[in-house]
Structure 1
Amino acid sequence: MLRKSAALGAALFVMSVMSAIPAFTLSATNAFAAEPSQPGDATAATRQANADVLGRLPFANRQDFEDARRGFIGTIDSGEIRDASGRVIWNLDAYAFLKDDAAPASVNPSLWRQAQLNLNHGLFQVTDHIYQVRGFDLSNMTIVEGNTGVILIDPLLTAETARAALDLYYKHRPKKPVVAVIYTHSHVDHFGGVKGVISEDDVKAGRVKILAPEGFMEEAVSENIYAGNAMSRRAQYMYGPLLPKGVRGQVDAGLGKTVSLGTVTLIPPTDLIQKSGETRTIDGVQMEFQMAPGSEAPSEMLLYFPQWKALCAAEDATHNLHNLYTIRGAQVRDANQWWRALDETADRFGNRTEVIFAQHHWPKWGQREITAFLAKQRDGYKYIHDQSLRLANQGYTMTEIAEMVKLPPSLASQWDLRDYYGTVNHNAKAIYQRYLGWYSGNPADLHPLPPEQSAQRYVQFMGGADKVLEQARKSYAQGDYRWVAEVVKHVVFADPSNQAARRLEADALEQMGYQAESAAWRSAYLMGAYELRNGVPQTASTQTASPDMVRAMSDTMFLDFLAVRVNSDRAAGKQVKINWIQPDTGKRYALSVDNSVFMYRAERQHPDAQVTLTAPRAVLIGTLLGQTTLQAAVGAGQAKVDGDAAALQTLFGMLDKFDPKFEIVAP
């Protein structure tokens, strides 16, 4: 059952039902309902688990701290960045607690180390002509100085942080105009701030070029349209934006501190890179490109600057193990493509690179260090791929494989392969999913009961809720938190009003969060604990249903998403035939609903249509978003209806509106 997901509005950063923004931009406030329950302290078992980490990893190696500070020029006076209305959309001051050297008992020491590294912020010189602004968003913005202007690589997630980053650069360097922007890949934190640094008029006039890999627009817009509401709700758990910042709350996102909460924008590229080896020279800056589709993003490329022996690795080689599967939900990434891309990078650029930098984290310098870095990044993804499939072919299931696959010591000891963002555990599951899907092969798993039904039976079989909780408390006292969470969730799903069960499961999740090395796992555990204690937060979310993203949808994406919204029960037994004409483009579509299925055909018209709607796509989107009504659009001359207007209302009445606050840890 899709729990309570067909009710109201839209979702967080995918605020409207039409939004296509990937799951990074989230709520603009940390405020919950008044007086929420406060998190607890680390237990003795958690303290011991975190203390043990100190003996397993090379904490004496401080090279990353030197590299993260190298080339520092300056930063903003305040850690806050505000939008035009004065709302804080970025706040590094909230992370002042990270200045303590020793990790508190409630944070895994390895994650604490990464969080401290990600707190370095400001303008940094990478090498001659190449600078980065780091720590102003989840991602970095790179500035390359040309003869007369600057080239910007990946203008962050939101316009406000991108503008602040460029202003900081201009404070310390000559104020040359932006002559080009490069999008390395199709994730929103690498293009959403573009209108903070250039204008669409400059692009149309040819004063600014925008380069991107082939397939960029389709992938940038489409990744989260169809499952956007579910993905954005789950992103609350992955990034923890509603959690308070602190030693018992959100400390980092692995790739960076967190996500900014400003305005997401998009300007389409003017030049697409289609194959590896292509070159461009812009304003005297020579660039050579390597395509890496299907690696970290469906549309991705790396670029090399031969004049300065500098390599931009986009997001294919960063200072953490990345996601083959992202727990907010997305299509599984191809580990085979990923390691092959890195192998090609090492072969193509390794022996002529003196500095490597990515669009997250900090650079590495020196050919020997770079070669070793790329090799171990490559080997990490290939190892997880190969070993997961080896075990799958021996008959092990996804869950078993995830427990069995461990990086060898030579890789596990590498800070840049630690589980800060992706984890070996859920990446191994991703490999299984990609090749074999969700089914374990055991017929008992082929048609399981849904959670609410199975929970009631589990609790009954185990002797009732009181008996389950009595046993679970003993397990909790022994530090067996994973088992407590697994068992007590059945009590919660059998009776979500059982406060004792909710508190006990929350306590167990909280300790798991305190022990997690992965920032994403920590946030997920702590968010689950919060909602078990306090319910789903009802705070207003940032309206980031970006008009640029909506406008960038193709007709096919728009109509496919309408089909996803059709409620089969409300459509049952109804037949609708509508002709849609776009007066601004001349495009025509034949739309229909039959058998509870929404269909469309381009360049067709129904000879027996009940109604013909003549309206631009933007007007139709506005009516579905609630920005206007069809009647108002007709009255304003923006739309024309010929025939039975009730047929349009019948179609609109079939469409679900998705609840952005559906339950996750309760039925």
Structure 2
Amino acid sequence: MKFTYTLYAAPVFETVAALDDSYKPATDFTKQAIADSVANLNFSDFTDFEDVDRGFVVAPASLRVVEVSGQMASDADTFLDMVHDDKPCPKTVNPSTWRQAQLMTRVRAYKVIDKVYQIRGFDLAVITIIKAPGGLIVFDPLGTKATAHEAFDFYLKEVGPNTDTLEITKDVETHIIAGLTFEFMLTLSAEAPTEMHSWIEDWGLLNTGENAVMSAHNFLTLRGAKARDPMKWTTCIQQKIQRYGDLVQTMIGQHHWPNFGNENVVEHLTMTRDYIKFTHDQSVCLLNLGFGMEEISKTIEMPKSLDSYFNTRGQHYGHLKHNSREWDANPAGFQRLPPVERAQQFVADMGGIEAVIERGQWHHNNGNSRWCAESMNQVVLRGQHYGHLKHNSRERLPPVERAQQFVADMGGIKAVIERGQWHHNNGNYRWCAESMNQAVFSDPSNRQARYLEADCLEQIGYAEESGTQELRHGKKSYPEPDLGESFLFEMPLRMMLQSLEIKIDPEMAEQSNGLSLNLEVKDTNEKFNFIISHAVLISLPVDVLPTTARATVTAEKKKAMINILTTGDTSGVSVSGVSLPLPSLWGVSPLCLMEPGTS
């Protein structure tokens, strides 16, 4: 999907159209963009709906999940009602996205094949339960204790009534679990750093984990998880095709509905392999030809053979635009114009190339070399030359300063908004969003700029298949995550210490430079030496505690050590040496540390 882009020099208006925090309908430009984006899709193919509903057992009356504390863990009832099968797709939603939402909202218990059940919709993941001769085997016990408890209780109550933990370390391992023979295959660094597939030959059942979901996946996640390796990913899928392609009858995963039938399973694995490899190969090809990341994301288009397959659509979750480039998570940059088109639009809105050079010369003469270099770079990218202007520095200005200079050279924030409104009215949403992003950075309190940027991103969002509150209504404060005791106490102590290392207050730590502190946990036989060096906290695992430490904290149980590290609670620990609580040292999590030279 692409918006048609035409270069315009926006006239300056005397008045600006009314801007407010209301949601706007899809414009004609957006409606056309939506229609173009789904031109290759066959909406009369209901195979996925048949697969989703196959094996239906029972549905819960509600999906309101409440924590033991009484706090609401999740409440999807309103959303489920909104995208019910009898609800038509709104004009502000891409039909492909609406279809995917309807497929994903089957919150029910399903019998996949004999003795294999899935509970879908209680969480982002799918819980799979296998009734083996020796007991129940559970795959992916969901993301939170509350949803896991609710889903498993629902299974026990509605479907029928010993799980063990097994560590897989080799590429391929065969194990008998609860009387059932499994073959496990590690797929490290594919969809996740640690991932595996499982195969039950007696049933022809392949579990691909998260490696072959019913959607395009992310290579570079928006939330900041470790980047995936597309080559390892495609290799592991190809290995599954070669190893099980002639035998598999049913494929399940941890986020979506199953695939049924050998032909359908192999087709899905093949399409998944190919869209991942196509994105990778074409990105690298263009990179080697000298294309930048924004140019690559604009240039790559899925071939019709891949684009017409619903279940590897590059929009519902993973997105071709951010799988083929890096992204800074700023919504204004998601549909950013490539450098040349951006430069052309900048020059046009500035009044032409002579005006840009004239302003650039003034900045150069007044020592504002960084902005001069940046504005002249736009001229060069546009395909023009900028004479003999010289630059003292090639360092780019920080975002706020750059935005302020952009707005100043455009004639002030009123002029920028007027031009932006004109571009919005003519369907140039990407440039409008970018120029309004500069206006918002320049003056975050300007409501008109925020509303206009939100209006542009809204239209872009309507046409996309992966789904701008903050610009209109401000950023809401998020509640502190309630991880629960089980999460903290199961965390390896080394990982806990690493999480504390990044929370240190440098100013307070500087006052404790040279501090050495020992930690010892008896029941796990773990020993660490804490060192504060130049406002950096270093936690070193040791076999023998150094005698030079200022103090030693000893705990019989790991739980007691975690308590003192995270809450300052000293019950269950003993301290030898001098100590003084310094909660402010940590900044976020209080930590009892020893201040040298005190008693």
Q: Could you tell me how far apart the structure 2 residues matched to 1:546 and 1:447 are?
A: 46
Q: Could you tell me how far apart the structure 2 residues matched to 1:606 and 1:283 are?
A: 47
Residue 608 (structure 1) shift? 4.1
Deviation by residue 1:598-627 (Cα, 9 ceiling, x = unmatched) = 22333354544333333465445434534x
Q: Could you tell me how far apart the structure 2 residues matched to 1:365 and 1:588 are?
A: 52
The aligned counterpart of 1:40 is 24
Q: Is the 8 A contact 1:123 1:134 kept in 2?
A: yes
**AA aligned opposite 1:67:** D
**AA aligned opposite 2:81:** A
Paired residues for 1:629-644 under 5 Å: 629=569, 633=570, 636=571, 638-644=572-578
Q: Could you tell me how far apart the structure 2 residues matched to 1:84 and 1:351 are?
A: 47
Residue 331 (structure 1) shift? 1.6
Residue from 357, 374, 393 that aligns with 2:288: 393
Residue 465 (structure 1) shift? 0.7
Q: Could you tell me how far apart the structure 2 residues matched to 1:511 and 1:499 are?
A: 18
Q: Given the alignment of the two structures, is residue 156 of structure 1 paired with residue 142 of structure 2, yes or no?
A: yes
Q: Could you tell me how far apart the structure 1 residues matched to 2:76 and 2:513 are?
A: 55
SS in 2 for 1:329: coil
SS in 2 for 1:289: strand
**Which structure's relative contact order is higher, taking Cα pairs within 8 Å and 6+ residues apart?**
1
Identify if the C-alpha distance between structure 1 residues 172 and 304 changes in structure 2 by more than 3 Å, giving closer, same or farther: same
Residue 657 (structure 1) shift? 2.6
Residue from 433, 443, 459 that aligns with 1:485: 433
Residue 283 (structure 1) shift? 2.3
Paired residues for 1:197-346 under 5 Å: 209-210=164-165, 271-346=166-241
Normalised by the length of structure 2, the TM-score is 0.78
Instruction: Name the % identity.
Output: 33
Identify if the C-alpha distance between structure 1 residues 41 and 624 changes in structure 2 by more than 3 Å, giving closer, same or farther: farther
**AA aligned opposite 1:565:** K
Q: Is the 8 A contact 2:489 2:562 kept in 1?
A: no
Q: Which stretch shows the higher mean deviation, 484-493 or 608-617?
A: 608-617
Paired residues for 1:525-544 under 5 Å: 529-538=468-477, 540-541=479-480, 543-544=481-482
**AA aligned opposite 1:138:** L
Q: Is the 8 A contact 1:335 1:431 kept in 2?
A: no
Q: Is the 8 A contact 2:129 2:136 kept in 1?
A: yes
Deviation by residue 1:31-86 (Cα, 9 ceiling, x = unmatched) = xxxxx955333233223322444533211111111111111111112233333344
Paired residues for 1:373-452 under 5 Å: 373-418=268-313, 419-429=315-325, 447-452=395-400
Q: Given the alignment of the two structures, is residue 598 of structure 1 paired with residue 598 of structure 2, yes or no?
A: no
Q: Given the alignment of the two structures, is residue 457 of structure 1 paired with residue 405 of structure 2, yes or no?
A: yes
Identify if the C-alpha distance between structure 1 residues 461 and 613 changes in structure 2 by more than 3 Å, giving closer, same or farther: same
SS in 1 for 2:257: coil
Q: Given the alignment of the two structures, is residue 115 of structure 1 paired with residue 101 of structure 2, yes or no?
A: yes
Residue 274 (structure 1) shift? 1.8
Q: How large is the RMSD of aligned CA atoms in angstroms?
A: 2.6
Paired residues for 1:15-34 under 5 Å: none
SS in 1 for 2:221: coil
Residue 574 (structure 1) shift? 4.5
Identify if the C-alpha distance between structure 1 residues 553 and 283 changes in structure 2 by more than 3 Å, giving closer, same or farther: closer
The aligned counterpart of 1:656 is 587
Residue from 391, 403, 417 that aligns with 1:469: 417
Q: Could you tell me how far apart the structure 1 residues matched to 2:547 and 2:177 are?
A: 53
Residue from 562, 574, 578 that aligns with 2:516: 578
Deviation by residue 1:295-326 (Cα, 9 ceiling, x = unmatched) = 11111101111111111111111110001111
Q: Could you tell me how far apart the structure 1 residues matched to 2:561 and 2:160 are?
A: 46
The aligned counterpart of 2:389 is none
Identify if the C-alpha distance between structure 1 residues 621 and 464 changes in structure 2 by more than 3 Å, giving closer, same or farther: farther
Normalised by the length of structure 1, the TM-score is 0.71
Residue 98 (structure 1) shift? 1.1
**AA aligned opposite 1:504:** L
SS in 1 for 2:489: helix
Q: Is the 8 A contact 2:296 2:325 kept in 1?
A: yes
Identify if the C-alpha distance between structure 1 residues 147 and 619 changes in structure 2 by more than 3 Å, giving closer, same or farther: closer
Q: Given the alignment of the two structures, is residue 614 of structure 1 paired with residue 548 of structure 2, yes or no?
A: no
Q: Is the 8 A contact 1:302 1:314 kept in 2?
A: yes
The aligned counterpart of 1:351 is 246
Residue from 625, 630, 639 that aligns with 2:566: 625
Q: Could you tell me how far apart the structure 2 residues matched to 1:595 and 1:78 are?
A: 55
The aligned counterpart of 2:255 is 360
Deviation by residue 1:144-185 (Cα, 9 ceiling, x = unmatched) = 11124221111111223223322333344342xxx33xxxxx
**AA aligned opposite 2:317:** Y
Q: Is the 8 A contact 2:519 2:530 kept in 1?
A: no
Identify if the C-alpha distance between structure 1 residues 597 and 53 changes in structure 2 by more than 3 Å, giving closer, same or farther: closer
The aligned counterpart of 1:140 is 126
**Which runs of 5 or more structure 1 residues have no equivalent in the other structure?**
1-35, 181-208, 211-270, 433-439, 523-528, 659-667
Q: Could you tell me how far apart the structure 1 residues matched to 2:319 and 2:576 are?
A: 56
SS in 2 for 1:106: coil
Q: Is the 8 A contact 1:53 1:109 kept in 2?
A: no
Residue 588 (structure 1) shift? 3.5
SS in 2 for 1:66: helix
The aligned counterpart of 2:55 is 71
Residue 369 (structure 1) shift? 1.7
SS in 2 for 1:272: coil
Deviation by residue 1:538-571 (Cα, 9 ceiling, x = unmatched) = 3645x42232232233333233223222333443
Residue 471 (structure 1) shift? 0.5
**Which runs of 5 or more structure 2 residues have no equivalent in the other structure?**
1-19, 329-338, 340-372, 378-393, 590-599
Paired residues for 1:518-557 under 5 Å: 518=466, 522=467, 529-538=468-477, 540-541=479-480, 543-557=481-495
SS in 2 for 1:304: strand
Q: Could you tell me how far apart the structure 2 residues matched to 1:86 and 1:383 are?
A: 48
**AA aligned opposite 2:106:** N
**AA aligned opposite 2:505:** N
Residue 477 (structure 1) shift? 0.6
The aligned counterpart of 1:103 is 89
Q: Is the 8 A contact 1:140 1:360 kept in 2?
A: yes
Q: Is the 8 A contact 1:332 1:430 kept in 2?
A: no
Identify if the C-alpha distance between structure 1 residues 380 and 51 changes in structure 2 by more than 3 Å, giving closer, same or farther: closer
* Structure exhibiting the larger radius of gyration computed from Cα positions: 2
Q: Given the alignment of the two structures, is residue 513 of structure 1 paired with residue 461 of structure 2, yes or no?
A: yes
SS in 2 for 1:600: strand
